[in-house]
Structure 1
Amino acid sequence: MKHRTFLGLVLTLWLVGCASLPDAVSEIVDNRKVEHLVAGQGSPVVIFENGLGGTLDWWAKVWPDAVNQTTSLAYHRAGYGKSEASTAARDGTHIVEELRALLKVRQLDPPYILVGHSLGGLYMQLFARKYPKDVASLVLVDATHPEQLKGAGDPEAWPAWLKLSFGLLTSGTAKQELAALNSTGQAVLSLPVNPAVPVTVLSALRPMEVSSPMVDDANRKRADLANLYPRSRQVWVDSGHGIPLEKPEAVVEAVRAAVHMARASRPSRTDPASTPCVPTPQHIACDIQQRQ
């Protein structure tokens, strides 16, 4: 288990080094510089949220298709990339409000398709529950469960080598985000789910192949995430945790379907990309699974 984990980490770092996004820009939002990238045209707006310690490059293999579909935004949260650190708490409530401030400055209006990987998926869950009328669809990419750090997932129960690795390989901002994860999860679960918001849950299949108390706990939560959303469709992707880099086609298909469904439910005469041809959630899942 230990060696497989480190192998996965090395592979992920290599994949990140092989992919990149066009140059991002920095803009002042609430007196703080925020690095971000906006491209594409049309509605709905797709928003990509990085995982813990993640950068824009995690979306490099998904971005070209997204911007061909509609307006898309990827960004660095406070303390990542060239985005200035924030003195505010690094919990989901503050992070969601900082994202909304960026959207306002860039004049990117709802509805939004929220795409979040790992911890970014937890932040997008909070966004969707706090502002359901602004959300057209939610795509969770091996997202963090609101109770991820409860039980066997508690960092106090992590093996010593994992604690050491996390301490050496992560930034101060990432440590603050992890420390605030339980409060973010509580904030998510304290708010109701809007059943009108479609949710696609992309879950990594390969972690299911190994076993330890911590991994088994994480996999139970991985399987349970879809149960939190009545209209969700869970798709098991033949991938490790780094789905956007390892199996980007799964994310691409989910985003495409979300864009089509959003346009079908909110037709616009001014949007030439609107189409009556709408793949159902069942077709999304079958498509992805057959291509793996």
Structure 2
Amino acid sequence: MKLALSTAAMLPLLAGLLNGCGGNLPQVATTNVAGRQVEFALSRHDTLPVVFETGLGGHFTWWEEVYPPIAESATALVYNRAGIGNSDAVASPRDGRHVVQELRELLISQKLAPPYVLVGHSLGGLYLQWYARYYPQEVAALILVDSTHPAQLKGQGAVEHWPFWWRWLFEVSLSAAAEGEFAEIDRTGDEVLAAPVFGAVPVIVLSAAQPLADTSSLAVDSNRKRMELARLYPGAIQIWVDSGHAMPLERPEPIISAIREVLAAVQPKSEPVTTRSAQTPAGADASR
């Protein structure tokens, strides 16, 4: 268990290494978006859309404990990024700018209008931070699930400070899609920090508490960045969850609760229906 704890503490983007959990999601389909196939699941209800983003190279079944209960009553979309699952690979860089643009193209293709409730785990959280900072008018709320910090691979977190076994694990475990995403983390993080601060709408930061028990130098750096993440967003609420980094699978309940609470807070209220007197025909001037 010490190995698993250290791994989760050192780098909040481990989720993608498993690249799929073998589970199932309802309503899975593929669609052509800008000449490429994209695999996704979508539910439609009378709510603002909830959009899920997965961690490093991760398959959308990482959300198999969270997406179905949300999809029962809310519009919700989960998808596989380029090169993952049945989504076609692309030649463009796998940085936040391109990932977000491809996501926006998918949302447009499915006629899902903003604003969105964005929910991102691990590296998916960094992508959605990029989205929120560069397209704030399209975001109703941001929920970060043990998200990658924009400076995750800077300072003591830089790859050259990782133990040899950790670097070896990454080299042998990363898929081609994950390799492309990993190579662009610093660029994405730098662009996030260079953009205007995002804090005009609800931001909830769900942080894994179990890795805090690890005291290695690399874990200390990673956990410090866990603590600092919420400070990047004025007014953000940080909630510590008794979980490891794989929170969507280990402790889905706090994520589900956060999504439901945010939806209840940001969902536009229906306009009251004006009743007419039975004696006043529609369009008639009642003052006459």
Q: Give the TM-score taking structure 2 as reference length.
A: 0.87
Superposition deviation, residue 194 in structure 1: 3.3
Q: What corresponds to 2:168 in structure 1? A: 164
Runs of at least 5 residues in structure 2 that lack an aligned partner in the other structure: 273-288
Structure 1 contact 34–76 (Cα < 8 Å) conserved: yes
For 1:98 and 1:83, the matched residues in 2 are separated by 12
CA deviations over 1:17-43 (Å, ceiling 9, x no partner): 474312521111111111111013122
Aligned counterpart in structure 1 of residue 251 of structure 2, from 247, 251, 260:
247
Q: What corresponds to 2:58 in structure 1? A: 54
| Count of aligned positions | 267
Runs of at least 5 residues in structure 1 that lack an aligned partner in the other structure: 271-292
| More helix by percentage | 1
CA deviations over 1:127-173 (Å, ceiling 9, x no partner): 01111111100000000000000011111221111111111111121
- The answer to whether 1:267 aligns with 2:269 is yes
Q: What corresponds to 1:40 in structure 2? A: 44
Structure 1 ranges of 4+ moved more than 6 A: 6-14
- Secondary structure (helix, strand or coil) at the match of 2:88 reads coil
Superposition deviation, residue 12 in structure 1: 10
Residues 242/88 of structure 1: CA separation in 2 closer, same or farther (3 Å cut) = same
For 1:50 and 1:7, the matched residues in 2 are separated by 16
Structure 1 contact 146–185 (Cα < 8 Å) conserved: yes
The percent identity for this pair of structures is 45
Superposition deviation, residue 176 in structure 1: 1.4
For 1:267 and 1:193, the matched residues in 2 are separated by 28
Residues 206/74 of structure 1: CA separation in 2 closer, same or farther (3 Å cut) = same
- The answer to whether 1:126 aligns with 2:134 is no
Structure 1 contact 19–61 (Cα < 8 Å) conserved: no
Let me know the Cα RMSD of the aligned residues.
2.3
Bigger relative contact order (CA 8 A; separation at least 6) = 2
Q: What corresponds to 1:217 in structure 2? A: 221
For 1:90 and 1:34, the matched residues in 2 are separated by 15
Residues 88/149 of structure 1: CA separation in 2 closer, same or farther (3 Å cut) = same
Q: Which amino acid aligns with 1:233?
A: I
Superposition deviation, residue 13 in structure 1: 8.9
Aligned counterpart in structure 1 of residue 155 of structure 2, from 151, 156, 166:
151
For 2:153 and 2:173, the matched residues in 1 are separated by 19
Aligned counterpart in structure 2 of residue 208 of structure 1, from 198, 212, 232:
212
Structure 1 contact 122–144 (Cα < 8 Å) conserved: yes
Q: Which amino acid aligns with 1:134?
A: E
Q: What corresponds to 2:143 in structure 1? A: 139
